[in-house]
């Protein structure tokens, strides 16, 4: 096991912050059900005076066999016309690291995925063949993001206009030195069923398999490893003003147009259960300790409920 002190020695300096904001952050615990937001920043990362650059790599994984009694998801055909510029709208929760002293390095949770439709007018849906997610999608996911909510690794279930639902993972690393953002999306090769409970995990590990061969963040669906960051996030994720670094576990549904649907409906919810965090101190996963705030910008035509700080239901109302 790599100790917290050893990882602190691996961290890089973080300089030259430039903000691109999607809102402002306010902090309220999950039980109070009030708002917070997600702000993106571009970060120049250096180590020993040189810019640290890493290639993002992901690994396509096989789909586990599913029971014959389950129903394959229909395509997410349109529910209306896409009426505004696409953005990111959330129906879920995040841990705001600037508001808490907790030090987390991973996130986990069980999710029961459900059907959702997208709006019509933007054909840029996710493309498993091209390994892109486009502009018009709806998804549920678990994420670990850096202190600035600027770089992340996430895993979930995604669909788009006229596209079936797939397991999907994404790694994003932002820079502010003129280089393009590092990003990689990966899909499972077969459509999913809906109404199925799977475990989704973002896990920091001290030694990733070859060819990575160093510390990384891994994305799992159940026990299947989908992808890794191919860099040690402790040298590349912004950690905030203190050491050890503070990151942001997040659990949410998301859509890119307000006219689209969040997964689920009023009678059949998409469900997050036993959501958890990976602790920096000992690398162990524990249940989320009631430090969550509502993610923003918030999705309209969306319902949300929570219980016991570790169980979340989401659903569409349109």
pLDDT, tens digit (0-9, with 9 covering 90-100), for 132-146: 999 999 999 999 999
- Mean pLDDT, range 172-181, rounded to an integer: 72
Is residue 58 within 8 A of residue 317, CB to CB? The reply is no
**Mean pLDDT throughout 273-291?**
97
pLDDT of amino acid 175: 67
Look at residue 293 in the predicted model and tell me its pLDDT. Answer: 96
Q: Would you say 255 and 125 are in contact if contact means Cβ atoms under 8 Å apart?
A: no
| Window from 41-45, 193-197, 289-293 with minimum mean pLDDT | 41-45
Lowest mean pLDDT among 32-41, 69-78, 96-105, 266-275: 32-41
d(CA 144, CA 237): 10
Q: Say whether pLDDT at 19 is over 60.
A: no
- Just give the CATH number of 4-61+75-316: 2.60.120
Share of the chain above pLDDT 70, in %: 73
How far is the C-alpha of 29 from the C-alpha of 36, rounded, in Å? 10
Q: How far apart are CA 278 and CA 226, in angstroms?
A: 18
Q: Tell how many helices (H) and how many strands (E) occur in the chain.
A: 2, 19
How much is the pTM?
0.77
**How many other CB atoms are found less than 10 A from the CB of residue 19?**
11
pLDDT at 177: 57
For 236, the enclosing helix (H) or strand (E) is: helix 233-236
If one compares 5 and 44, the residue with the highest pLDDT of the two is: 5
């Amino acid at each position: 096991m790599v100790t917290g002190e050893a990882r602190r020695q691996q961290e890089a300096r973080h300089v030259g912050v430039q903000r691109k904001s999607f809102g402002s952050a306010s902090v309220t615990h999950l039980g109070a059900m009030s708002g917070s937001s997600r702000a993106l920043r571009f970060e120049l990362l250096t180590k020993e005076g040189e810019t640290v650059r890493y290639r993002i790599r992901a690994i396509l994984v096989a789909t586990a066999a599913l029971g014959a009694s389950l129903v394959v998801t229909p395509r997410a055909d349109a529910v209306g016309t896409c009426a505004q510029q696409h953005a990111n709208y959330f129906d879920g929760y995040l841990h705001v690291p600037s508001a808490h002293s907790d030090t987390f390095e991973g996130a986990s949770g069980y999710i029961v995925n459900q059907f959702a439709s997208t709006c019509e007018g933007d054909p840029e849906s996710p493309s498993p063949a091209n390994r892109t997610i486009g502009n018009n999608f709806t998804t549920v996911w678990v994420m670990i993001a850096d202190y600035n909510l600027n770089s992340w690794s996430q895993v979930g279930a995604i669909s788009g206009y006229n596209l079936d639902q797939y397991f999907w993972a994404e790694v994003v690393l932002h820079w502010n030195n003129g280089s393009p953002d590092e990003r990689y999306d990966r899909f499972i090769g077969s459509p999913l069923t809906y109404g199925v409970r799977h475990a989704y995990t973002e896990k920091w590990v001290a030694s990733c398999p070859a060819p990575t061969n160093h510390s990384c963040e891994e994305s799992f669906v159940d026990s299947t490893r989908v992808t890794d960051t191919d860099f040690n996030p402790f040298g590349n994720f912004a950690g905030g003003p203190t050491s050890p670094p503070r990151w942001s576990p997040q659990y949410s549904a998301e859509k890119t147009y307000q006219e689209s649907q969040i997964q689920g409906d009023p009678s059949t919810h998409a469900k997050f259960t036993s959501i958890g965090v990976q602790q920096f101190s000992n690398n162990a996963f524990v249940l989320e300790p009631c430090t969550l705030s509502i993610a923003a910008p918030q999705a309209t035509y969306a319902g949300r409920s929570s219980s016991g700080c570790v169980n979340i239901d989401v659903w569409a109302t349109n």
